[in-house]
Amino acid sequence: MQSASPPSALITCGGKWVGSLLGLREAFSTAGNPGIHRLYVADAAGVTAASYFADQSFRVPLINSSDYIDSLLDICRGFNVKSLVPLIDLDVARIAPHLDSFESAGTRVAAPRYEVASLCIDKVRFADFCSRHSLSHVPLLGASDVFFTSGPIAVKPRTGFGSRGFMRVESGRQASELLATDPELIAQPFIDSSEVSLDGYINSNGECTILVPRLREKVVGGEAQQSTTITHESVWDLGLRTVQALAEYGYRGPINIQAFLSATPMLIEVNPRLGSCSVLSNRATGGRLFWSIAAEASGMSVGGSPDDYEVGLSVHRFVGDVYVRDQVPFASVPDVQKL
């Protein structure tokens, strides 16, 4: 039986991403007819900052729990969820194998299918994909070669997220010893260069409609705190060729590409989700990035030129405060609701 609830959207693991939640709320309210006007947040924490700004919040099991997917599906069925937007890689990896179940519940997930998502998350598979498609990328150092490589060397988990587990070592000997202790670690040359993120969108027809490069000027814990949109022909071309190759492989939805702005730009990784600072790219495209997610969830077609964005636009992220009484958020500073 179809839910009597109004059409809604669900943000998973949305705990602190208030800016993304507010941007998505605006996009959902303007896409489709009558549009999606209720926005929910699901998180394993009982109270989160984002829950204050959502219409309702749900406490769900931890991502790795056997009940996690069923819990999300119950929310989708019971509250007429038309769009589910995961904001972290671990959540994408958990949800992606179950897209058919969400589609059966009437919910479109803003993430690629599992075979594509897993390709992006696995750094070894992604490096092989880059080599086969002639995409410049940071090379992997084989176990037999790393011992004789002069440092510095970057050692990281094969399927790590953000900067978690990242180590910089100064010699091949140190790197070799680390690799010997954990077969899931990989080694790469340490690149001392500025980093660029490219926020993009691949529509249902496999067309790249958005591709915004932005300089990651200040990064804390793998997340950009200060960023500026730029124009850079060679890094944009690398990003576009990456998007097109992944689209041919079946990628659809939002995408975040990270690259080094070296003399020859090199791919670092692809995150199969909205970038943590995609609020800037959404603003630089006049709201098209978030609107694309909302529009396709409402059955609309999205288009546009990937190079249609504002250059030189910056974002400076800051810490806000949400106050909670008896496990119920009741006020915030700044008070966005009054603004």
For the question of whether the overall pTM of this predicted structure is more than 0.85, the answer is: yes
| 9-18, 67-76, 235-244, 287-296: least confident range | 9-18
Q: How many CB atoms lie within 10 A of CB 290?
A: 29
Query: What is the per-residue pLDDT for 151?
Result: 78
Confidence of residue 266 (pLDDT cuts 50, 70, 90): very high
State whether residue 226 is helix, strand or coil: strand
Q: Convert the pLDDT of each residue in 215-259 to its tens digit.
A: 999 988 778 899 999 999 999 999 999 999 999 999 999 999 999
Hey, what domains does the chain have and what are their CATH numbers?
8-112+321-333 (3.40.50.20), 117-123+193-316 (3.30.470.20), 139-189 (3.30.1490)
Confidence of residue 268 (pLDDT cuts 50, 70, 90): very high
117, 161 Cβ separation under 8 angstroms: no
Token pair for residue 48? 């989160």
Instruction: Tell me the C-alpha distance between 124 and 143, whole Å.
Output: 13
Return the half-sphere exposure (C-beta side, CA atoms, 13 A cut-off) of residue 10.
27
DSSP-derived secondary structure for 44-64 = SSSS-TGGGTSSEEEE---TT
Higher pLDDT residue, 230 or 47? 230
Query: What is the per-residue pLDDT for 2?
Result: 47
- Give kind and range of the element (H or E) at residue 246: helix 233-249
- Length of the chain counted residue by residue: 339
